[in-house]
Amino acid sequence: MRLPKFAKLVEVGPRDGLQNEAVAISVADRVTLIDHIAEAGLTAIEVGAFVSPKRVPQMADTAAVLAQVSRKPRVDYLVLVPNMQGFEAAHAAGATQIAVFTAASEKFSQANTNCSIAESFARIAPVCEAANNQGIRVRGYISCVLGCPYEGAVDAEQVALLARQLSELGCYEISLGDTIGTGTPALAETLVETVAEYIPRDRIAVHFHDTYGQALANILAVMERGIAVIDSSVAGLGGCPFARGTTGNVASEDVVYMLNGLGVETGVDLGKLAAAGHFICEQIGRLPDSRVNRALAAQSDRQDLVS
């Protein structure tokens, strides 16, 4: 088995995770979560989104969150922006890295952003140009790369062409999102190999949801194909507000535990990361979806009983 020696985890819990939770989390608790995640060793964290608070109320006050986090050196704090209005707000708030997004499915694009794929690129292009002119790095996301809730199967070649477009707009990294979690290792491998014909592998990231319990298997499969950037969400938070029935993102704790067992370095302290997941789940009022987090908590409870 040939695997990268080091994998970078991009923590999406504070944005992609919390945006799909029914409970709105306070600015103070969101800041605490982000600071805990950074303290655990994550070097790339999605902290929020400059989107309409009416459409995604959980992401309201992202500017306040960005202003209050204890910024660590060598940690990227990303914010999602959908258009120039969002970019201007992000720039005013001091964002140094942003993310833009499109979809591989026309119907999902319409449901998610009320525009076609072509129209989404018309919105993205000036954002990328403005960000690059301001020295702000841009990450690109593509949703529904392995399946769409409205259209079913998605053509890998279509995803690859979109990835190339994002790259040409100046995105330093393209995250391939299995938004509804229907992907399997074989499909994930095929997708990565197809996209790699258009952009270098070191600029490809993967973003798997665990709806069918395939996320960890998919991650291992694409890592064997040279992919070393993985999006994950602390405690397995999230899903997609525009794709009903989907479960959360793959849990960061579960990914780190697997990579530790494979001897792949991440620089992440699993205990501190699990504590961050436990903290945010207490605020939401539910248990973590991470199996590793639950196992560590049970182990701690048993030790307390023995002592």
Please list the active-site residues: 240
Torsion of CA 48, 50, 54, 58, to 10 degrees: 10
Distances from the Cα of 148 to the Cα of 12, 19, 145, 244, angstroms: 21, 20, 8, 11
| DSSP assignment string, the chain | ----SB-EEEE-IIIIIGGG-SSPPPHHHHHHHHHHHHHTT-SEEEEEE-S-TTT-GGGTTHHHHHHHS-PPTT-EEEEE--SHHHHHHHHHTT-SEEEEEEES-HHHHHHHHSS-HHHHHHHHHHHHHHHHHTT-EEEEEEE-SS-BTTTBS--HHHHHHHHHHHHHTT-SEEEEEETT----HHHHHHHHHHHTTTS-GGGEEEEEB-TTS-HHHHHHHHHTTT--EEEEBGGG----TTSTT--PBPBHHHHHHHHHHHT-B----HHHHHHHHHHHHHHHTS--S-HHHHHHHHHHHHHHHH-
